[in-house]
């Protein structure tokens, strides 16, 4: 077993267990698991022997309920214990006590959780003909309902083998359900807390036709499915309230528009409170959710009003009947928008930009902005750069240039004797190597700008969108690294985002729809970069690139000779004409 998986506690709820629990615990211990929490969910004195035997195993803790509280309550007890006693764990793995889960599968789910600490890991089984009917039918029905009602297509909704991320556990501890339906509530919580679900195939094991399972195929399924139907119940109650207020207002005023406003306002308050807390389990702040909800209500009200007018006047149908028809047409659309936009929290942004993903699928807008940026770079190089006296062509270094989009134009329009690309992203560098093929000019270096080891001989060192991905100390170090690879008198070109109003508005809009990719990007005040530049060089010009909606700042500087001091007069600042 991997050392990383040992850091993930295994939580096993048990009610009146048998030998399969003892075998499971010994199997896990044999694989090196040293954090096992077993919850005795009020099993009674007749089953104390099994818990005594497993309590003697190293790393096993038995937590007891005085009475049977249900599987969900036992899971919450175990997860709470894990967070208290293993505060730095990536999460917990839950497993059943009836022998359905092989120890090796549990370990693999633990490893998967460590590799994906922000996701819920589901150990999914294959439901063939050998699976007991109550499990096969129950899972198929629940899968269908989950797909329709929650928008998630999961292979095994009833699996008890799960890797639960630590960040999700505090929310789950507040969920009211305590029985088998808690596991379904966990899936719904993932949807509305922005927690992705990763499915990991596991062995399908049922001992003695699954006789040891305490899952009742009728009563427990009904409880689970009723949980799903609360979506529809709230919608029906809201519709009834809306139509009642609408009918009363229409009888009093005779105005479809005024009646629509009255009914929608009352229904909006009722539906918002119910949807937020009862249906979607949303704990997001009102200022995050309410504007989206009001926007939906306004848009829905206008569309509903137009449909009522059309049906009522065009087809001569009574106004109330026309309203019911219009609302029925909009029901599914309203539900889907609330489910996927209003009450769903976006997945937590990762700490750093996923450059592999970015290079795999470059946005179409980036292809357009790159043309402008390329023209600016080429113009700056042709205006200000010159090769060393003994050379006729330039030596260029691009830092952060994995799968460079500038190299082709620079080679064609500037010309150089060497073009070196430095980046830490191996995938992007491999794409560039395949694209450019064998070349005596281009050399690739898998290095960090913060630990650069190139000779100081380049005529031009440039980077586009690099220095903003660090904290202030890292940004300063990255800027100075440009000069480390540059000969005295050489040219540094640096572009970076700057927090103009246009930048903030554009980025805010992109983040609002969940399409922002550069999660560690820190728009920089130009003065921060200029201070670092002036430690080694003189600024030649500075320009804000307004045609880029996510506005960038461009700085060009010349490296001072080693004998020049930081206080030397600056070269006159000019502006780039583009």
Sequence-distant (≥ 6) Cβ neighbours of residue 245 within 8 angstroms? 262, 263, 266, 267
Sequence-distant (≥ 6) Cβ neighbours of residue 101 within 8 angstroms? 24, 95, 123, 160, 161, 202, 205
The span from the CA of 335 to the CA of 327, in Å, is 12
Question: What pLDDT does 177 receive?
Answer: 79
Q: Could you write out the DSSP letters of every residue in 513-544?
A: TT----TT-----HHHHHHHHTTTEEEEEEEE
Question: What pLDDT does 566 receive?
Answer: 47
Pick the CATH number of 355-559 from 3.40.710.10, 2.40.10.120, 3.30.160.270, 3.40.50.150: 3.40.50.150
Question: What pLDDT does 297 receive?
Answer: 77
Low pLDDT (below 70) residues in the chain: 1-6, 127-152, 180, 192, 205-232, 276-285, 332, 335-336, 339-341, 343-352, 357, 359-364, 388-391, 512-514, 563-578
The span from the CA of 245 to the CA of 8, in Å, is 54
Q: Is residue 395 within 8 Å of 460, Cβ to Cβ?
A: yes
CATH class belonging to 3-217: alpha beta
Convert the pLDDT of each residue in 46-98 to its tens digit: 999 999 999 999 999 999 999 999 999 999 999 999 999 998 899 999 999 98
What are the sequence ranges of the domains in the chain? 3-217, 227-342, 355-559
Question: What pLDDT does 577 receive?
Answer: 34
Report the C-alpha dihedral over residues 275, 278, 284, 289, rounded to 10 degrees.
Answer: 10
Sequence-distant (≥ 6) Cβ neighbours of residue 56 within 8 angstroms? none
Three-state SS for 494? strand
Question: pTM for the complete prediction?
Answer: 0.48
List the Cα angle 324/325/330 in 5-degree steps. Answer: 95
Convert the pLDDT of each residue in 371-413 to its tens digit: 999 999 999 999 998 876 666 789 999 999 888 889 999 999 9
Q: Is residue 461 within 8 Å of 479, Cβ to Cβ?
A: no
What the block records as the tokens of 207 is: 């001992």
């Amino acid at each position: 077993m991997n050392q990383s998986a040992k850091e993930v506690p295994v939580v096993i709820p048990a009610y009146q267990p048998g030998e399969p629990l003892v075998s499971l615990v010994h199997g896990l211990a044999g694989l090196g698991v040293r954090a096992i929490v077993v919850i005795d969910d009020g099993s009674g004195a007749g089953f104390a022997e099994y818990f005594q035997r497993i309590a003697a195993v190293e790393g096993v803790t038995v937590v007891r309920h005085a009475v049977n509280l249900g599987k969900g309550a036992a899971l919450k007890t175990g997860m709470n214990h894990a967070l208290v006693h293993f505060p730095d764990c990536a999460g917990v793995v839950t497993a059943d006590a009836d022998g359905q889960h092989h120890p090796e599968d549990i370990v693999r789910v633990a490893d998967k959780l460590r590799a994906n600490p922000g996701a819920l890991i589901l150990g999914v089984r294959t439901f063939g003909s050998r699976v007991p009917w109550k499990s096969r039918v129950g899972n198929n029905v629940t899968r269908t309902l989950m797909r329709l009602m929650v928008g998630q297509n999961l292979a095994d909704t009833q699996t008890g083998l799960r890797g639960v991320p630590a960040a999700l556990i505090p929310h789950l501890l507040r969920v009211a359900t305590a029985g088998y339906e808690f596991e379904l509530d966990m899936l719904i919580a993932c949807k509305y807390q922005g927690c992705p679900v990763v499915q990991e195939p596991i062995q399908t094991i049922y001992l003695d036709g699954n006789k040891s399972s305490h899952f009742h195929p009728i009563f427990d399924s009904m409880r689970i499915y009723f949980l799903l139907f609360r979506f529809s119940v709230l919608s029906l109650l809201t519709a009834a309230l809306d139509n009642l207020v609408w009918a009363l207002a229409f009888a009093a005023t005779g105005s479809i528009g005024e009646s629509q406003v009255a009914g929608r306002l009352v229904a909006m308050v009722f539906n918002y409170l119910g949807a937020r807390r009862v249906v979607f389990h949303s704990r997001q702040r009102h200022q995050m959710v309410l504007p989206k909800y009001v926007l939906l209500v306004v848009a829905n009200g206008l569309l509903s009003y137009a449909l009522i007018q059309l049906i009522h006047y065009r087809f001569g149908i009574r106004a109330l009947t026309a309203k019911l028809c219009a609302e029925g047409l909009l029901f599914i659309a309203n539900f889907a928008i609330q489910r996927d936009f209003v009450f769903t929290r976006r997945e937590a942004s990762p700490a750093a930009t996923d450059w592999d993903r970015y290079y795999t699928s470059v946005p179409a807008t980036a292809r357009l902005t790159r043309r402008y940026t390329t023209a600016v770079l080429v113009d700056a190089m042709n205006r200000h750069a010159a090769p060393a006296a003994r050379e006729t062509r330039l030596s260029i270094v691009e830092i952060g240039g994995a799968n460079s989009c500038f190299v082709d134009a620079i080679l064609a329009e500037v010309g150089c004797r060497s073009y070196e690309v430095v980046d830490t992203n191996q995938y992007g560098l491999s794409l560039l190597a395949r694209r450019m093929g064998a070349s005596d000019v281009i050399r690739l270096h898998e290095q960090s700008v913060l630990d650069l080891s190139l000779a100081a001989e380049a005529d031009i060192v440039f980077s586009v969108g690099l220095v903003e991905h660090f904290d202030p100390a890292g940004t300063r170090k990255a800027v100075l690294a440009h000069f480390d690879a540059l000969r005295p008198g050489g040219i540094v070109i640096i572009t970076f985002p700057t927090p103009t109003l246009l930048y903030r508005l554009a980025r805010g809009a992109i983040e609002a729809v969940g399409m922002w990719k550069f999660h560690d990007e820190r728009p920089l005040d130009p003065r921060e970069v200029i201070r670092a530049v002036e430690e080694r060089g003189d600024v030649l010009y500075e320009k804000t690139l307004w045609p880029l909606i996510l506005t960038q700042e461009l700085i060009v500087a010349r490296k001072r000779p080693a004998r020049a001091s930081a206080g030397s007069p600056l070269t006159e600042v000019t502006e780039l004409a583009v």
